[in-house]
Structure 1
């Protein structure tokens, strides 16, 4: 039976006394039906598109896991946490530069940036710093292709290798990267890593076995280098990890710099240690070890003779964490309250911990920690935070930086495309330097007259020669890689955050 539509002479939408003829009323109705159907179809196609991953990138537990060159500018990895506006220009920029490289007529190689780039409400290991990190990596690619880092041959193609929000898919991604060492990709190095965790050690170890070098950007755990010291720390046996290098100083160097600054302060005499006990977090473990082993810092703990306070959590909103912090605060803020808390944990828990200390303590308390605190914008309570930064934009732009001109060149390029506020955590600066270091090793391996692409194992060997006359002129300062893949003589700013968020430079140390 067909659909029949009739209209009353006094339809409620008609003007009184002016009945509408039937035939003239059918057209608007038909148009409306077609418009609704078209909207439904188009809406379904949009939803279907946003639910897909880029070609060759599988979806695993709702996340797009794999390797992308930026061709899908609407990639669902990056359409979460309301950050679409930041991701889209980044992906467009990476895709445009990769396309320029592919069609330039010059030989090119691929460098992958590896890390946990997707995030969900339950899994966000990098706490919002993924975008600045990849912005820095792109600027590193761009500057390398324009002549920084030893010429412009071969050109560098950048791909993003996503392990997932909890790094649980690292093996799937590493296997894909190993398959990319031949044509047409010619992958010769991996940069990034982002986090000092067991999964990162496992990924670096597998890449090393395949002869692929790795340049870490912000992996600060002690021993996270070619020595392989981190293998034993996570139960992966012993032995070196050839090709594992990094451009950042380690936690031991950070806290040594902090200790030299604290030694000049007469208002800070005692401390209590608070530790995150998650076994897979090598950053927290290194902080705990160095707070207790560094003679200067250990003396502050010994003066108070207090037991170590511990907690275990994966997320700031985890059930049970408020009770842990409440008990810790009551233990610390008693009659023998210390001047400082030595905090061996991630930045994402600091706000909650300080909130409880502010409620319980009778006088302001100073929290001392490592470079992960660079992401803090305010101090949520009386007192302050003292920390060592990997790269602070204000310090690098100041007169105390001997490599100021190099940083300003990076800054000029960065601000053309991205918001300079993304430099605050230092991750963008360090990511740029990791990318530039990889590019310089590639260029030194290739040479100006080489006809073939460099082999990954040759790039790996060249990384250890990146010092002295061949040092990398990084945005964070000069980078001299040593025989164990660690940088020497790095600048380490020690800063203090006041309750109003104002940062004060206390001193600049060398590793």
Structure 2
């Protein structure tokens, strides 16, 4: 029997197609009410379209009575035009005469079934769609506003979302959609799918495809429409229902043809849609479940996107993304890292302390034309103007396009304004009475708000222009934090504030909130924060002392206490933000960053190096998600606008965070100096970005020479994550610099299975593995190597990110002897280079600051790590530039600091001499090579002579 969907000839008696899984118990000439036919023509206002939103498929023979100027509900609804018509109904654009002729879309059900049982099934299906949509409450799902029955026909009224569906768009432009634009729309749909998965029971759409995604001409957001076959599980054993729940061939996954769809099936269909958008390859015109790698069809696409699609389109449902949040996070990370765009699809769920920027897309808007596409899969002739996605629009919930508003952190509720009782009936009288009561209540609340505002103005206006003076002295103004409430859903307007995003405290703190809560002194720190919030500086100082008595290595407590001294002194000060990561798996880097920054702050304040001007620090945490860097950078810009003492940033150590933050800080003319961010993409990024660490290219060149001369390597297997900017550039740099044979093995950061799979590809000893990545991932590699006897002697070489002491568990200690890595600093470097008599005061000051509660010689108390050293050097560079720009004065502009930083030359740092080049990179900076001995101790290779260590 020939499959009506894909054309495959199947043996007689088969129920499902062996190729596509389609239901075969229907002659090819019959019609399908939901499933689209491969290669079907694209519908217009006069083209017949299936009621489920699919294209083609034919009709049953019944026709709609809805024509222009037709009236429904005793003249309430007046039809303007037919948007689409199919075998089980039509969709029309109409005016609601009771609500100022507001435009709505009306969907009609026509059942021509002679079988009463099947006819009732059609009604139940339509009823279920109404019920599903009426109970959904998401800004990107059109709301049901009414439902009724006239004669034998049923009608559903929805809000009108003017725009163009993606199927029509692709047909109109006939070329791939730009990657950033496509990813932006897909991220918005994933937010919808995440919401659907949270319903009880979870809702599976089952027919995601370009025709069912509308880009609204009102706010340029993607709407998901046509829930006609959503939640069809209860009837999936009925043959006709089994067919109607198949979705659309080309987009539907294989398990859906057996009636086993779940949320992961929608992710597959959405990935198929994304594949179509970025390649202009319509999957309905090809055998099902066949998606070539996207970069073979469009070379401009990123490897990260290809990897995402490969995972999402796998036939094994257990190997796909297991929920919408996972897929959305990877897409947002790709947008942030490659396109420097922050997506705000979740901003109506999560608190934000400042606006989240929306990406701009370089594509030109389409010309405006008549007609629109209904948010329900019915396509109209023509297409309205399409402009860039993500642009702000008026929003009834407040904030941005659907960003934070008066009800921060909550999803908007009851947008339709109706209480549904049963199919075809509503309770307008009860609702009107409820609305009358609500009107009185809201009027009363509005009066109270107005009185409060008037009272506030009476208090505030006489005091405008008078800075707030902290208790205990006449220091310059300080911006007070707006710490979020315990519930986390009322962020302050003050940009110096902290909010919770995905379980992490993200934002800025000047001492009224803490980030490092994992230490044993956390109780004292919390009490200090409470005292500071109450303005009791004396009590706060006592608690900070108690906290440091328990753990003297806690630089966060040191910084806040130092700030209190400055504010109480009455002396002028300048403020720097320390941007870092203090939560998540890389929090250890953040602790090091704060230690280095505090030593520099304490030194310069204690020695009055800036004369009468003191140094104050604000701490910024972006957590584990690099996308938060853009959000926090916006906060810094806003804080600097309020507080002119904020003149620069020391941070971030991770390349992706640094890149995301720098773009925003540059636009506000705020300079930034990074300690360890080394990705090649940062070279020449901005005239306001500087770094004291060399680029990946520089350290990869040193590593390649070391591999040849010291390790005698003739070939190397290079492990890299092509979705991470640091790993990708470092691995490719090594490949370019290494003269022997190389082999690239890709893995995914924080994915042990991908690393283990990479090791299994090595059937013979490659001699050397160059691991372009991070310590926690190379630890997985070290744990896997003993399982492969052929790799017993394989050496491992890597970059500076492997110098993370907390990244190696005791279980791999026996394998550390394989490890070698380049680094930008080492605490014994001065002595090894026989320059011990010239060692800077930093080493003594570091020990004095942190060793009182632990006098041993371990890292973090007496012995600084490389991250501490480089953070100190980055802070010192900022302060050196500040001294030059201040020139004996007491006020400093960020633009003057930028000019001074650009001229920094021959600054002797702890990690070597620092001279900033025109591209922001350090010129000829010293690089060291480190290795582990058999006891797991680190040593430095001598006599390598790489870079200039001592300033001339």
TM range (shorter): 0.7 to 0.9
Mapping 1:483-498, distance limit 5 Å: 483-498=918-933
Selected match of 1:133 from 580, 593, 598 = 593
Report if aligned partners of 1:354, 1:380 keep a CA contact under 8 Å in 2.
no
Call closer, same or farther: CA 1:83–1:388 in 2, change over 3 Å.
farther
Q: Which residue of 2 aligns with 1:371?
A: 800
Q: Measured at CA, do residues 264 and 62 of structure 1 come closer, stay the same or move farther in structure 2, by a change above 3 Å? A: closer
Is residue 388 from structure 1 mapped to residue 822 from structure 2 by the alignment? yes
Structure 1 partner of 2:166: none
Distance apart, 1:86 and its partner CA: 5.1
Aligned equivalents of 2:698 and 2:658: distance in 1?
A: 21
Given the alignment, which residue of 649, 652, 666 partners 1:193? 652
CA contact (8 A) 1:436 1:472 kept: no
SS at match of 2:824: coil
Deviation at 1:404, TM superposition (A): 6.1
The answer to whether the Cα contact below 8 Å between 2:649 and 2:672 also exists between their aligned partners in 1 is yes
Gap change, CA 1:89 and 1:388, over 3 Å in 2: closer
Residue 310 of structure 1 corresponds to 746
Q: Which residue does the alignment assign to 2:555?
A: 90
Quick one: structure 1 residues 64 and 337, their matched pair in 2 at CA, closer, same or farther if it must change by over 3 Å? Answer: closer
Tell me the distance in 2 between the aligned counterparts of 1:87 and 1:164. 23
CA deviation after TM superposition for structure 1 residue 402, in Å: 4.5
Deviation at 1:141, TM superposition (A): 1.0
Q: Pick closer, same or farther for the CA change 1:80–1:182 going to 2, 3 Å.
A: same
Residue 347 of structure 1 corresponds to which residue in structure 2? 775
Contact 1:403 1:478 in 2 (8 A): no
Q: SS of the residue aligned with 2:818? A: strand
Are residues 404 and 183 of structure 1, via their aligned partners in 2, closer, same or farther at CA, if it must alter by over 3 Å? Answer: farther
1:145 Cα offset (Å): 1.8
Counterpart in 2 of 1:67? 508
Q: Distance in 1 between matches of 2:728 and 2:836?
A: 32
- CA drift of 1:269 comes to 2.8
Q: Matches of 1:364 and 1:382 in 2, distance apart?
A: 12
> 5 Å matches for 1:31-42?
none
**Tell me, which stretches of 5 or more residues in structure 2 are unaligned?**
1-483, 523-549, 852-857, 948-952
Aligned residue for 1:441, secondary structure, equals helix
Compared CA separation, residues 258 and 214, structure 1 to 2 (3 A): same
8 Å contact 2:701–2:734 — kept in the other structure?
no
Return the alpha-carbon distance in structure 2 between the equivalents of residues 90 and 424 of structure 1. 13
Displacement of 1:445 in angstroms is 0.3
Query: Whole-Å Cα distance in 1 between the matches of residues 622 and 647 of structure 2?
Result: 19
Matched, 1:358 2:803: no
The alignment status of 1:327 with 2:787, answered yes or no, reads no
Shift of 1:201: 1.2
Does 2:541 match 1:109? Answer: no
Structural mapping, 1:400-415, within 5 Å: 400=833, 402=835, 405-407=838-840, 409-415=841-847
Instruction: Show the 5 A alignment for 1:42-81.
Output: 56-72=497-513, 75=514, 77-80=515-518
**In structure 2, C-alpha distance between the alignment counterparts of 1:369 and 1:81, rounded to whole Å:** 31
Alignment-derived partner of residue 291 in structure 1: 734
1:152: Cα distance to partner?
3.7
**Structure having the higher Rg:** 2
1:172 corresponds, among 631, 646, 649, to 631
Aligned: 1:244 with 2:689: yes
DSSP-derived class of the 2:709 partner? coil
2:720/2:731 contact within 8 Å kept: yes
Take 2:928 and 2:661, find their aligned partners in 1: how far apart are those partners? 30
Deviation at 1:128, TM superposition (A): 2.2
- Could you say which structure has the greater relative contact order, defined with CA pairs below 8 angstroms and 6 or more residues apart? 1
1:221–1:282 contact (8 Å) kept in structure 2:
yes
Structure 1 residue 485 displacement after superposition: 1.3
Q: Distance in 2 between matches of 1:401 and 1:215?
A: 29
Number of the residue aligned with 1:14 = none
1:215–1:504 CA distance, 2 compared to 1 (3 A): same
Residue number in structure 1 paired with 2:664? 206
Q: Residues 432 and 424 (structure 1 numbering): CA distance in 2 closer, same or farther, change over 3 Å?
A: closer
The answer to whether residue 892 in structure 2 is matched with residue 454 in structure 1 is yes
Q: What is the CA distance between 1:327 and its match in structure 2?
A: 3.3
Question: Which of 930, 937, 940 matches 1:502?
Answer: 937
Deviation above 6 Å: which 4+ runs of structure 1?
Answer: 48-55
Find the aligned partners of 1:477 and 1:112 in 2 and give their Cα distance.
Answer: 24
Note the C-alpha offset of 1:261: 2.6
1:188-215 deviation per Cα after TM superposition (whole angstroms, max 9, x unaligned): 0001101011x43121011001000000
Tell me how far 1:259 sits from its aligned partner: 2.6
Closer/same/farther in 2, CA of residues 222 and 147 from structure 1, 3 Å limit: farther
Q: Report the Cα distance in structure 2 between the residues aligned to 1:68 and 1:309, rounded to whole angstroms.
A: 41
2:904 aligned to which of 450, 456, 466 = 466
Looking at structure 2, the residues matched to 61 and 338 of structure 1 have their Cα atoms a distance apart, in angstroms, of: 41
**Once structures 1 and 2 are overlaid, which stretch shifts more, 252-261 or 48-57?**
48-57
RMSD after superposition? 2.8
Q: Aligned equivalents of 2:711 and 2:740: distance in 1?
A: 12
Which whole-Å CA distance do the structure 1 matches of 2:592 and 2:816 have between them? 30
Once residues 426 and 461 of structure 1 are traced to their aligned partners in structure 2, the CA distance between those partners, rounded to angstroms, is: 28
Partner of 2:911: 476
Choose 210-219 or 133-142, whichever is displaced more.
Answer: 133-142
Residues 329 and 499 (structure 1 numbering): CA distance in 2 closer, same or farther, change over 3 Å? farther
Contact 2:669–2:895 (Cα < 8 Å) also in 1: yes
CA pair 466-402 structure 1, distance change in 2 beyond 3 A: farther
1:249 counterpart SS class: coil
Alpha carbons of structure 1 residues 69 and 262: separation in structure 2 relative to 1, 3 Å: same
> Where do 1:253-272 residues align within 5 Å?
253-265=698-710, 267-272=712-717
Identify the residue that residue 442 of structure 1 maps to in structure 2: 882
Aligned pair count reads: 417
Q: CA deviation at 1:218?
A: 0.7
Work out whether residues 351 and 380 of structure 1, in 8 Å CA contact, stay in contact via their aligned partners in 2: no
CA distance in 1, matches of 2:922, 2:712: 34
Quick one: distance in 2 between partners of 1:156 and 1:382?
A: 41
For residues 101-149 of structure 1, what are the alpha-carbon distances to aligned partners after superposition, in whole Å with 9 as ceiling and x for unaligned?
2233322110001122223xxxx2x25222122111111111122348x
TM-score, normalised on structure 2? 0.41
Q: Secondary structure at 2:850's aligned position in 1?
A: coil
Which runs of 5 or more structure 1 residues have no equivalent in the other structure? 1-47, 229-240
* Change in 2 beyond 3 A, CA 1:59/1:271: closer
Q: What's the TM-score, normalizing by structure 1?
A: 0.75
| 1:127–1:331 CA distance, 2 compared to 1 (3 A) | farther
Task: Identify the match of residue 417 of structure 1 among 846, 849, 872.
Answer: 849
> 1:438, CA displacement in angstroms?
0.6
